[in-house]
Amino acid sequence: MDLRETEARKIILTVRKMNITELNIELELHYVSCCLEIIEDFGYWHENYYIALGKMFNNAINGISELGIEDNITRK
């Protein structure tokens, strides 16, 4: 599981460098969603894990704000 998570973070970092905000938002939110499933399924608790998830979620929110698509998301 650690290897897949590491690979996922590498992909997200690569996309960030490509400056494709829409794709980065999708990847970050998908990553957070998958991590939350792991937490629910396995009861994983580690403070640094939660801090990293929070940062990833905040990056996605910042991208959403940057693109000005907050209203589009709340309508769905």
Q: Where are the domains of the chain?
A: 2-75
Task: Tell me the CB-side half-sphere exposure of residue 46, using CA atoms within 13 A.
Answer: 8
pLDDT tens column, 1-44? 566 888 888 989 898 899 889 999 999 999 999 989 888 888 87
- The pLDDT assigned to 39 comes to 86
Q: What is the pTM of this model?
A: 0.78
Q: Is residue 76 pLDDT above 70, yes or no?
A: no
Rounded distance between C-alpha atoms, residue 60 and residue 26, angstroms: 8
